[in-house]
A and B are shown apart, each in its own frame.
Chain A
Amino acid sequence: MIKNRLFKLFLFSFLVFPASSSYKLEGFSFGNAGGGNISSSSYEMSANAGEINGQNISGNSYDLGAGLAFVQQANVPTITIDNPNNYYNKLHFIIGVQNNPSDTKYAIAISSDNFVTTQYIKSDNTVGSTLTITDYQTYSQWGGASGGLVVGLNSGTIYKAKAKAMQGKFTETAFGPISSVATVDPQLTFDIDTSQNDVETNPPYAINFGDLMPGSIGTGDSKVWVDLDTNASNGANVFVYSQNGGLYSPTTTYKINSISGNLDVATTGFGLQNSSVGQSSGGITVNSPYDGTVDIIGAVDTSIRSILSSTAPLTSGRASFSFKAKSATDTPASSDYTDTLTMVAAANF
């Protein structure tokens, strides 16, 4: 008889996992005949004889288990996973401690296929296939009330997460309810306008210097404006390159070379200078030498050069640039001085 009960208890401990998020039964037992721990060099087991056996009582939201093993378990935690900042490769999470003490440790499972396969959020907030003891962390270690970010995720993917708790030996709970949210797709927006004022324009884009009087610095009749917007973790760059490396006259075969420097000092030259820069969020930088003032310009030549940079996600970046040029007394007269500039953008995901 005793052997029969012990054997049923052995099976019961493998097959039944009680959990509760709202109810806590303490000291629940009847027919208790005592118990103890069994241990080896690597494992420990807690066994109790004479505990009530049977199946869990389960509802849509809660499971109710019986026996001392379930009484001593931690409270099953919740987790909330969300995407507050348009992330494409990470998500934000906060653990719900459900009245567990502060020294309770939590493990988090995550999946992109509805837990057909399961991975875990590691202690460094990356995702891994195995759960080790170091991946159990306290609420505080997981970011506390602010939560944390799980990184290294795939874009455009729905992720589900669930958490379990443990507070010492034999107290580990089952995983709690699932929370899900999706990462977004990578995003990059870029546009060009040419205008004296900050307005949107359509192509073709053209800027005219008019007469470039020898020894006088001329400014193009329009600025070039660029829009830049991205959710790339490492930001984006705007690049520019020139077809001719300067204002070239096919008739005279003479070129007003593009230079980086002070046009007020130079005999002749052609280049680009930032006029304005701003954004709604993130940060955007005008790269040297395009950040000059007064008559200091940056060269535009056949090399692809970065004129604007951001190193983090950027919202509503907008910048403008002016073109300046100067002819010399011996710059051959001609009405066909021209250059074609190409502007492109690339995001660093």
Chain B
Amino acid sequence: MKKIVLIALLILLSLPFFKLAPFAFATPFSQAMIRYDRMKTTSPTSIQVIIVPQTVGTEAKIKIVFGAGVVVGSGVSVTSTNLYTGTSLPGTLTVTGAGGSLVVGGLTDLSVGTTYGFNISVGLSTPSSPGQILDTITSQTAGDAAIDSTVVASRFISDDQIVITGNVPPSFTFTLSGNTDAFTADLGSTAVVSTTGRTVSVTTNAAKGWIGWVKSANAALSSATTLESIGTTGVVDTTPSTCVNNSDCYVLDADKTTTGAGSGSLAIAAEYDGADASSGGTLSTSLTPFVTRTGKTAGDVITLIARASILSTKAAGSDYIDTLTVIGAGNF
């Protein structure tokens, strides 16, 4: 009887020591993601980590243990810019790492349910073989006790890039607004008369721009009926000529009407850059530049105006005529 009592007492006293101890392990984060910014094998990469804590604790560190093949090199750095989602980790962050793991320290506690993110911006390289690895993200206390921990799958492939190519072909459009241009009044000895004017419109993607040329069939306004001419005035000398009353004069004036958007500059050749309604450039039977653009343009417009005056004794006729050939070319 005494032995039984003693045994019973021993059992009763020892019961607390056989009580099952609570099993402690880290719970997973509510969400956890590692985005490798390169998935190509054997490539330097940065990563962005997104976590949502689930367990109340005093976080001081985030530890990442990478799966086989990811190498943590020297010079790893942590940033909080351009986060896909969430907010920066609180605290003054530091990062140390080597081999297959790294630790982000300097945290000042995290809040359950809040989304946090950070980047490891340099110092990592991807595995040498395609396939899946498992990385482990763990939040820790200052004493390295785990709080939340999640294993994530990361995938690496042979190539993660697509090269896009395209060709922009040369283009040059050149348009004359009309093929006839009459003087606005009868030619006389008491005034210089001008034509209405015709425009040259050019669009080009030539990186070095375009040039316009003009040549005259007669270098004069000639009449088949009277066999008389009104000759062009002056010489091609980069200086416009001025018509005066009661003298034969025939010149061409070029004006910038529109400078199209693009690059470079648009300039009328000095010869044809008349100063007023009486001046213009000497016409030649050879192609002579009247305008230059030094870059591409979405639409230059040049107006060409002929000007003339006559001697009082010029033979009367209605067929005084000249033909101007106007051309252009892009400089690619």
Residue contact B165 to A188, C-beta cutoff 8 Å: no
Distance (whole angstroms) from the CB of A253 to the closest CB of chain B: 10
Known contacts A119-B23, A213-B169, A340-B162: A332-B39 contact under CB 8 Å: no
Known contacts A118-B20, A208-B166: A189-B155 contact under CB 8 Å: yes
Nearest A-chain residue to B45, judged by Cβ: A344
Nearest B-chain residue to A191, judged by Cβ: B157
Known contacts A111-B23, A192-B159, A346-B35: A211-B297 contact under CB 8 Å: no
Residue contact B153 to A327, C-beta cutoff 8 Å: no
Chain B residues, Cβ within 8 Å of A234? 31, 33
Residue contact B152 to A337, C-beta cutoff 8 Å: no
- A325 at the B interface (CB under 8 A): yes
Residue contact A194 to B162, C-beta cutoff 8 Å: yes
Complex Cα gap A185–B154 (Å): 11
Chain B residues, Cβ within 8 Å of A66? none
Complex Cα gap A328–B165 (Å): 17
Chain B residues, Cβ within 8 Å of A205? 159, 161-163
Nearest B-chain residue to A186, judged by Cβ: B153
Distance (whole angstroms) from the CB of B198 to the closest CB of chain A: 22
Residue contact B153 to A349, C-beta cutoff 8 Å: yes
Residue contact B37 to A304, C-beta cutoff 8 Å: yes
Residue contact B162 to A341, C-beta cutoff 8 Å: yes
Residue contact A154 to B28, C-beta cutoff 8 Å: yes
Residue contact B166 to A7, C-beta cutoff 8 Å: no
- B17 at the A interface (CB under 8 A): no
Residue contact B33 to A303, C-beta cutoff 8 Å: no
Nearest B-chain residue to A190, judged by Cβ: B155
Distance (whole angstroms) from the CB of B43 to the closest CB of chain A: 10
- Pick from B5, B20, B171: contact of A329, CB below 8 A: B171
Distance (whole angstroms) from the CB of A281 to the closest CB of chain B: 18
Residue contact B165 to A214, C-beta cutoff 8 Å: no
Known contacts A186-B153, A192-B157: A331-B162 contact under CB 8 Å: no
Please provide the chain B residues from 226 to 263 with a CB less than 8 Å away from any CB of chain A in the complex: 260-263
- Pick from A10, A213, A338: contact of B165, CB below 8 A: A338
- A102 at the B interface (CB under 8 A): no
Complex Cα gap A304–B29 (Å): 24
Residue contact A341 to B4, C-beta cutoff 8 Å: no
Nearest A-chain residue to B39, judged by Cβ: A344
Known contacts A344-B36, A348-B31: A186-B152 contact under CB 8 Å: yes
Nearest A-chain residue to B40, judged by Cβ: A342
- Pick from B27, B37, B82, B171: contact of A344, CB below 8 A: B37
Interface string of A313-349 (1 = CB under 8 A from B): 0000000000101011111111111111111111111
Known contacts A206-B162, A342-B160, A348-B33: A331-B168 contact under CB 8 Å: yes
Residue contact A187 to B84, C-beta cutoff 8 Å: no
Residue contact B207 to A333, C-beta cutoff 8 Å: yes
- A96 at the B interface (CB under 8 A): no
- Pick from A119, A186, A348: contact of B134, CB below 8 A: A186
Known contacts A214-B171, A332-B168, A349-B32: A129-B23 contact under CB 8 Å: yes
Residue contact B167 to A212, C-beta cutoff 8 Å: yes
Complex Cα gap A325–B165 (Å): 11
- B332 at the A interface (CB under 8 A): yes
Chain B residues, Cβ within 8 Å of A167? none
Complex Cα gap A267–B157 (Å): 37
Distance (whole angstroms) from the CB of B36 to the closest CB of chain A: 6
Residue contact B162 to A333, C-beta cutoff 8 Å: no
Residue contact B23 to A118, C-beta cutoff 8 Å: yes
Distance (whole angstroms) from the CB of B234 to the closest CB of chain A: 36
What are 18 residue pairs bridging A and B, where the CB atoms are less than 8 Å apart in the complex? A7-B5, A11-B8, A152-B54, A188-B153, A188-B155, A206-B165, A304-B48, A304-B84, A329-B203, A333-B205, A334-B168, A335-B168, A338-B163, A343-B161, A345-B155, A348-B32, A348-B33, A349-B150
Task: Report which A residues bind B (CB closer than 8 A).
Answer: 4, 7, 10-11, 14, 88-89, 111-113, 117-119, 126, 129-130, 152-156, 185-192, 194, 202-214, 218, 220, 224, 230, 232, 234, 237, 239, 241, 247, 249, 252, 256, 303-304, 306, 323, 325, 327-349
Minimum-distance CB pairs A-B, first 10 = A117-B23, A129-B22, A203-B159, A209-B166, A346-B35, A186-B153, A333-B170, A188-B153, A337-B166, A330-B296
